Amino acid sequence: MLNPKLPEPDLLKAVLQPLLEDFEYWFERSRQLLEREEITFLSTSEQFDLLNRVKQAQQEVNTAQTLFQATGGQVGVETTVLLPWHQLLTECWQVAMRFRKEQSR
């Protein structure tokens, strides 16, 4: 998950730290929506699955943040780890947009 060979710790701190914070924020918002609302266009199992994937991603982001902080920003997170998080957030944003659109009708 982490790559200790990456140079430029200042660059990592400037880019990765806010990115991890963004992931943390948006996964929490997604989790709250999925826990508090009945998403009628998703089956119960689809909503449960999406919620579980969000919870798993939250744990992964928290682990990455902990390791990043513990090393003083000396390690990064590989793109192969970041990409699935981004794809999951995109899925969550699409669900949230559709949910809000249907709520406004």
Q: Is the pLDDT of residue 73 over 90?
A: no
- Give the pTM: 0.88
Q: Are 98 and 41 in contact (CB under 8 A)?
A: yes
| pLDDT the model gives residue 1 | 53
Q: Is the pLDDT of residue 86 over 70?
A: yes
C-beta atoms surrounding 34 within 10 Å: 24
Percent of the chain predicted with pLDDT > 90: 76
Bigger pLDDT: 82 vs 3: 82
Sign of the CA dihedral running 86, 75, 56, 58 = negative
Q: Average the pLDDT over 53-82 and give the result.
A: 93
**Residues 17-38: pLDDT tens digits?**
999 999 999 999 999 999 999 9
Per-residue CA distances from 47 to 43, 68, 80 (Å):
6, 31, 25
C-beta atoms surrounding 6 within 10 Å: 15
Mark 54-65 as b/e (b = at least 16 C-beta within 10 Å): beebbebbeebb
